[in-house]
Structure 1
Amino acid sequence: MPIDSFSVDETQANLRKPGAIYPDGRKTRDRLGKYTVVGSQPSFTFSRDDLIFTIGSCFARNIERKLASLGFQLPTMTLEVPAEERVSETPNEILNKYTTAAIVNEFRWILGIDAFPEEGLIAVSENQVCDPHLHPGLPPVSRARALERRSEIHALGAVLPKCRVIIVTLGLVETWFDGRTGLYLNGMPHRSALKADPERYSLRRQSYEDIVADLEAMHDILSSHGNPEFKMIVSVSPVPFKATYSGQDAIAANTYSKSVLRAAAERFCTAHDNVDYFPSYEMVTLSERSAAYADDNIHVREEMVSRIMELAASRYVPGYQAIEADTAKWVNKDKPLLLYQDALAARAQGNYEQAVELMKYLDDTGLVAKAKVEPGEFYLRYGTTLARAGYAGLAEPYLARAVSLLPGQALPQYKLGLITARLRRREALFHFQRAVELAPDSVEFLHRLAIQYEREKQPDLAVRTFEKVLEMDPNHDGAHTGLARLKVRAAPVALVPAPPRA
């Protein structure tokens, strides 16, 4: 049975669309190259006001970090487990879900559709257990801690129905099955469990039909328990598995895994008007390997993730502008300290576009620390440079990060106030108030607070604040002008009697 069909007229129209012709190396050398770009047609839009719920393989964590840096709200990033309970530095890697069956299970548990099966916890010693439905590499913990951690994860069920956008990344099809609970797991059980009870567990490779059924189950759950206006973006993770238990060559086994997931995703997306497929898998795997993957040939480079998610934002978020740069021409590309100095020099010369490109590269590639600059200072300069380059919407999240990293400093609050005021956000008033609290002797900050009071239609506070400015600087032209403006607005309007009728 075909997944869709097209009339003759539709086929001819489709053939004329951009990207319909596969790139011919004799004619087009830019589409397939170091950073391959694949077209897509979003069926909906979203904004920074929409909550985004991400779930899936480790690539979902990459997506989270980049979207958060762009100012989007991701509730899953609020979950942080202690460092001793992690495999890497990612605070919420405990949420990684590598199979579609594991995603379905988690949706049902966090939304309270089913109770989490406590008998599914695997005892690995007298006092410690493993949760096979979480990241398979996590160290064992006490049973009490395992259940406590489960409660922390299930608390996300309260916010999931508020999330309008659900991003799902599909990881692999090799799935471990627990014969005692009748549930698929998130990875291979602890080796001690396999040794103690080998009959209990088995490895199953899911089929195309299995994956489609799981995707449909996710959609059904979200339709009945999620946001009434939810939209899904489905992608296939470009991260291969490290090893296969199937007996095949790992390359062949990974190809089967990704092919089935990709085919099922296409079938699923064509069946639902509120589901899009985003081709991050194709963009990574068809780019130059050295640009796309880290040296382990498994994990995707942060710069590649950044490019992909900025492209996604430019397609889904109205008004979003992606920033591109030809990094190959940079003399100091591999010297973070010199690259940052180049950015500061460009900024000082008023070349804000170039400064933005350089700072963006340092941030995207995780080289800020190697540039020997404090993160708070970096994001303050990056945010203000974006603002001067005309990217006010992009500047806001970076200045917000500077505020969080430098909570006791007034300047980040003031700069964030300027940007949020430019974007007509109500929180601008709070940032100006906070800046004045932190730097009460600043005439500049106090004057801008008075202006914001005026804009927020609080004339009494505006007048008092302008007067405070004049107490500090009697010759402040802006304060005199502001007071005069407010007095004119407050003056009663004289009523002129109409002339008598003849």
Structure 2
Amino acid sequence: MQWTLSFDIPEGKPKINYQSQLFSIGSCFSTVIGDKLAERKFSVLNNPFGTLFNPISIAQVMEDSILEMPVNSDFILVRDGLYLYFGMHSDVVAYSKESLVRLIQKKQTQAKQVLESASHVLITLGTSWVYEYGNQGQIVANCHKQPSGLFEKRLLNADEIQKAFASFFNLFNQFNTKATVLLTVSPVRHTKDGIPENQLSKSILRLAAHQLSEAYDFVHYFPSYEIMMDELRDYRFYKDDLIHPSVQSEDYIWERFKQAWIDPKSFALIQEFEGIKRDLAHRPFNPESPSHQKFLDNLQKKLDKYSMDFDFSKEIDQLRKQTRYRGK
């Protein structure tokens, strides 16, 4: 008996490998994929501006970074003694206006450097619903729990999204002519907008992504939303909030992404690094037993083997906390 309907995903080219430079931005699902790539030691800058949901803000922060635009002081606010920016997530926070401006400029510089050398740019669109702020109706990335009366909520249309990304892509292509852009629609459900409203929002994002992939030969679409809606069409594949995909679902979509876009020659290293991650998470019955000490010694050898070419500093520190041989 067949319990799910699967579909083919076109093979992506050029493939991602361990020489690739990756940039991931957008909805929290982009963080999930970015984290999985980072855990497997791919070179990736993952959501430097924090989680961004709407496509206008996503395109804007990338464009501002490349153009080295000054920080918009009208977008700076204070909440509970902390300084935040309407154009970014609350992860971007400081204790003074000056510190916030320096932090944003640092992140823009980092983003510009990676974007200019990136082989692949992963963009996850979350919602078509936006909030406009101020007399000029500027779209914010995050309302930062400010009074609702300060904002006007509205729905973007596909042409607006296409225009915003066309502006960025045309600029981006002047600085980086070799990058491949992967667009995807987040499988996370924005139920606070309403169920019909969420479906409408996702439909607009999907249409805009299709239009962009048709307009630019370096832009491709990866169907993470469709995988969730069709191959994983059951609430058991969601977390308890019934909004976010479960860990099992994230792993499944990652495997589909891996098969479509990652060079099979990298699979052996991926498997090895996944094994190291599992070994580090292992909790022994008796940490002092000779068998466990041997297990740790073997794990140390693996880390030593790969640390010449990959950054395993966090894993080495984690291992040292487990072993009696602190000097290793």
- Report the TM-score, using the length of structure 1 for normalisation: 0.53
What are the Cα deviations for residues 127-174 of structure 1, in whole angstroms up to 9, with x where unaligned?
544311122698885323422431342233222212110000011111
CA distance in 2, matches of 1:308, 1:203: 31
Which residue pairs with 1:63 in the alignment? Answer: 33
CA distance in 2, matches of 1:48, 1:400: 17
CA distance in 2, matches of 1:120, 1:254: 27
CA distance in 1, matches of 2:309, 2:9: 36
8 A Cα contact 1:45 1:318, kept in partner? yes
What are the Cα deviations for residues 344-397 of structure 1, in whole angstroms up to 9, with x where unaligned?
xxxxxxxxxxxxxxxxxxxxxxxxxxxxxxxxxxxxxxxxxxxxxxx7322442
Q: Do the aligned partners of residues 221 and 302 (structure 1) sit closer, same or farther apart at CA in structure 2, a change above 3 Å counting? A: farther
Gaps of 5+ in 2: 282-295, 321-328
Q: What one-letter code is carried by the residue in structure 1 that aligns with 2:41?
A: G
Which residue pairs with 2:273 in the alignment? Answer: 397
Please identify which structure carries the higher strand content.
2
Is 1:260 the equivalent of 2:214? Answer: no
8 A Cα contact 1:169 1:234, kept in partner? yes
Which residue pairs with 2:89 in the alignment? Answer: 135
- Report the TM-score, using the length of structure 2 for normalisation: 0.78
Secondary structure at the aligned position of 1:176 is classed as strand
Is 1:318 the equivalent of 2:251? Answer: no
Given candidates 101, 119, 126, the residue that maps to 2:74 is 119
Q: What one-letter code is carried by the residue in structure 1 that aligns with 2:196?
A: A
CA distance in 2, matches of 1:95, 1:137: 6
Q: Do the aligned partners of residues 121 and 412 (structure 1) sit closer, same or farther apart at CA in structure 2, a change above 3 Å counting? A: same
Q: What one-letter code is carried by the residue in structure 2 that aligns with 1:392?
A: A
CA distance in 2, matches of 1:139, 1:53: 21
What are the Cα deviations for residues 25-57 of structure 1, in whole angstroms up to 9, with x where unaligned?
xxx83552xxx4542342432212101100111
Q: What one-letter code is carried by the residue in structure 2 that aligns with 1:220?
A: N
Q: Do the aligned partners of residues 415 and 124 (structure 1) sit closer, same or farther apart at CA in structure 2, a change above 3 Å counting? A: closer
Query: Which structure has the bigger radius of gyration?
Result: 1
Q: Do the aligned partners of residues 232 and 123 (structure 1) sit closer, same or farther apart at CA in structure 2, a change above 3 Å counting? A: same
Secondary structure at the aligned position of 1:75 is classed as strand
Is 1:106 the equivalent of 2:61? Answer: yes
CA distance in 2, matches of 1:143, 1:242: 34
Given candidates 211, 217, 222, the residue that maps to 2:172 is 222
Which residue pairs with 2:289 in the alignment? Answer: none
Shift of 1:415: 2.4
Is 1:298 the equivalent of 2:174? Answer: no
Secondary structure at the aligned position of 1:47 is classed as coil
Shift of 1:71: 3.0
8 A Cα contact 2:83 2:94, kept in partner? yes
Secondary structure at the aligned position of 2:52 is classed as coil
Given candidates 189, 192, 197, the residue that maps to 1:243 is 192
8 A Cα contact 1:399 1:415, kept in partner? no
Large movers: runs of 4+ above 6 Å: 137-140, 402-405
CA distance in 2, matches of 1:139, 1:241: 25
- The 5-angstrom pairing of residues 381-396 of structure 1 reads 392-396=268-272
Which residue pairs with 2:325 in the alignment? Answer: none
User: What is the aligned residue count?
Assistant: 299
Which residue pairs with 2:216 in the alignment? Answer: 272
- The 5-angstrom pairing of residues 144-223 of structure 1 reads 144-154=98-108, 155-180=110-135, 183-192=138-147, 194=148, 198=150, 201-223=151-173
CA distance in 2, matches of 1:399, 1:215: 39
Q: Do the aligned partners of residues 267 and 393 (structure 1) sit closer, same or farther apart at CA in structure 2, a change above 3 Å counting? A: same
Secondary structure at the aligned position of 2:10 is classed as coil
Q: What one-letter code is carried by the residue in structure 1 that aligns with 2:177?
A: P
- The 5-angstrom pairing of residues 371-382 of structure 1 reads none
Relative contact order, higher structure (CA 8 A, sep 6+): 2
Shift of 1:416: 4.4
Given candidates 216, 226, 230, the residue that maps to 1:282 is 226
Shift of 1:398: 3.6
CA distance in 1, matches of 2:309, 2:205: 43
8 A Cα contact 2:27 2:53, kept in partner? yes
Q: What one-letter code is carried by the residue in structure 2 that aligns with 1:258?
A: K
CA distance in 1, matches of 2:166, 2:253: 26
Q: What one-letter code is carried by the residue in structure 2 that aligns with 1:185?
A: V
8 A Cα contact 1:124 1:130, kept in partner? yes
RMSD of aligned residue pairs (Cα, Å): 3.4
Shift of 1:211: 1.4
CA distance in 2, matches of 1:393, 1:190: 43
Q: What one-letter code is carried by the residue in structure 1 that aligns with 2:75?
A: G
CA distance in 1, matches of 2:91, 2:38: 25
Q: Do the aligned partners of residues 402 and 253 (structure 1) sit closer, same or farther apart at CA in structure 2, a change above 3 Å counting? A: closer
CA distance in 2, matches of 1:158, 1:254: 35
8 A Cα contact 1:31 1:37, kept in partner? no
Q: What one-letter code is carried by the residue in structure 1 that aligns with 2:204?
A: V
